[in-house]
Amino acid sequence: MFIKRKYFFEYLWEGLLKISGGLTSVAILLIVIFLFSEGIGIFNNSAVEEGYSIIVGKDNDVENLSGEKIKDIFDQKIVSWKTLGTTIENHDSIMLLRLDDIASYVSENKIASDFSNLPQIIEQIMKDNPSVIGFLPSEYINKDSDYRILDLGKIKPKDFFFGKQWFPTAQPSPLFGVLPIVLGTLLVSLIAILIALPFGLAVAIYSAELASEKVAKLIRPVIELLAGIPSVVYGFFGLIVIVPLIQKLFNLDVGETALAGSIILAIMALPTIITIAQDAIMSTPRSMKEASLALGANKWQTIKKVIIPYSISGITAGVVLGIGRAIGETMAVLMVTGNAAVIPTTLLEPVRTIPATIAAELGEAPKGGAHYEALFALGCILFIFTLVINLIVEYISSKNKNKA
């Protein structure tokens, strides 16, 4: 009876573990599907703001205007049609027409209180002013009128992945160029690892091979404490200490720079690098160390020629996981990097990272809109980065196991 009950509980726990594992796998798969289905939706959105149209006169043969050129026109950085490769006889200067501008073309008395005659007024304005370009609600646009509706098409993958401007709320054409954000993420993460690697490796070697047992027991809890500090605390530390220091040291207008973000991420990545590298170093067989010392090598030569080459796979895995921690960090980076979506040229400029962009803008993006889906697409890019990093770790770990 006791044996049957024992087997019953074993089968029960086994079944529960299988169900738990299956549900977890399905949940992860559904999250990934949801992430990519929302992100891919960005390419189904019009390049013009939803609910609006861009119109020009019927004699205006301008074509293939990009979102960036449209933005420059309405920001009045481009003021001549000749600049855009088209000519309108006796009318070269670009005139803008928004809904608020209509009163400057006709008297307010001609505009009905319910705007019912607005389509006719727009048609007359476009007829009288050939150099006008209008950005107006689509409900007031008459497709059979004497002006042309510019078709900017859908948001293109080329403009999204290689675009250099991120202005998701720009009118009339939002710009979703993620290149500055991706490059900012990679720059901050790479410099963080270059800073953290020598310090992390030095601490790992010291605590595993050189420190006394008493000191080694003291170092490990300190490293674990660093790993447990919330990222917002690191952000406050960076904002109060590192940012003013960089501003003063380099005589900058602001200290929120890529360098500040890299230093904070380096500190945050240290526990991961140290812990994994230390475990890899301590896994070196004692016989190999003793053989090296017996052949006349000193302690430092043994570390350089035997221990580090043997544990290099584990050390590399720690570094790659440290990169993963750096790439996915949000709050600390959001607080110290300045959040400027520009392509970085030096470490002393503000940058913006993918996680910081998502955290800062998702709450303001209308659900289901182009901005909302663009942020999900950024999440897809971050997911791919993380997936690649995990695959690299798995590959390195498998090589280490085969070697052992």
HEC readout, 50-103 = CCEEEEEECCCCCCCCCHHHHHHHHCCCCCECHHHCCCCCCCCECEEEEHHHHH
SS3 at position 172: coil
CATH number assigned to the domain comprising residue 338: 1.10.3720.10
Same domain membership, residue 250 and residue 214: yes
Could you tell me if 126 and 134 are in contact, meaning their C-beta atoms sit under 8 angstroms apart?
Answer: yes
Domain span including residue 134: 52-153
The helix-helix angle for 179-205 and 354-361 (nearest 10°) equals 120
Instruction: Give a yes or no: residue 159 inside a domain.
Output: no
- Which CATH number covers residue 66? 3.40.190.10
Tens digits of pLDDT across the chain (404 residues): 555 566 667 777 788 888 888 888 888 899 889 989 999 999 998 888 888 989 988 888 888 788 888 888 988 898 888 888 887 777 788 889 888 888 888 877 777 666 778 888 888 888 888 888 999 988 888 877 888 888 888 899 999 999 999 999 888 889 999 999 999 999 998 899 889 888 988 888 888 888 888 888 888 888 888 888 888 899 999 999 999 999 999 998 888 999 999 999 999 888 888 888 888 888 888 888 888 888 888 888 888 888 888 888 888 888 888 877 778 888 888 889 988 888 988 999 999 999 999 988 988 888 888 999 999 999 999 999 888 887 877 776 676 555 55
Number of separate domains in the chain = 3
By the 8 A CB rule, do 293 and 302 touch?
yes
Strand partners, 351: 338
Angle at alpha carbon of residue 91, lines to 90 and 97, rounded to 5°: 160
Give the global pTM.
0.86
For the chain, first and last CA: distance in Å? 46
| Residue 162: inside a domain | no
Residue in 289, 392, 390, 394 with CA at minimum distance from that of residue 28: 390
DSSP 8-class letter at 49:
P
Same domain, 293 and 365: yes
Distances (CA, A) of 225 to 24, 29, 74, 315: 30, 33, 53, 21
Q: How far is CA 312 from CA 219, 317, 321, in A?
A: 22, 9, 14
Locus of tokens 């404490």: 225
User: Is residue 8 located within the same domain as residue 87?
Assistant: no
Q: Are both 387 and 253 inside the same structural domain? A: yes
Q: Are residues 208 and 322 in the same domain?
A: yes
- d(CA 331, CA 14) in angstroms, rounded, equals 40
